[in-house]
Chains A and B, each alone.
Chain A
Amino acid sequence: MSDRAVWLAPAPGSIAWRRFGDDLVLYDDATGCTHHLGPLGSAVFVALAEHECGLELAALVDYLSADEDFSTAATFAAQVERTVLDLADLNLATRASA
């Protein structure tokens, strides 16, 4: 996958969420689905929501790596990529050209 793509959160207001500890529960107005995200999924979602113009995958990894709760292992980038793809499957993230 090209890192020249950016990942975006859904439009502001279309998703309601609630933080419980490190987890999020979310409600998607468009689908009526409720989702439960663990710590990494929550962090990825919030990072995208905080960056309205989106984040490239590498920038997303750098951003999350600054959080001491997350691993700096070599596999972390792959974990983030898998997570953002999972979020995309749930319509909680979309990919756009940079």
Chain B
Amino acid sequence: MTLTPVQTFIIIFMVTIGTMITRFLPFLVFKGTRSNNSYIGYLSRVLPYSAIGLLIVFCLKDISFKSPVYGLPEIISIGCIITLHYWKENTLLSIGAGTVIYMVLVQFVFT
């Protein structure tokens, strides 16, 4: 533990508050009004797809393609996940195998 227990609790509290704001906000803002707004409706249909794309980029943001290991562990592991998921379509298998492959790559291959 780097932080004191009180500091830890404050961080946990902040993450909880932040999460709850994002979850409760739409229900508080649109309280009483029906979501007949076609623009909001359109956004709610398409945004989940864009949001996951953004999240993947967020997870990979620290890769450097200019210096060793040139993002190779990530590229190889994601390639395996895509292949495996198209082939077996088993969520747990794809996630599990992809993670194990990545761990092996960063711990033993590209050290």
A binds B: no
Interface residues of chain B, those whose CB is within 8 Å of chain A, are none
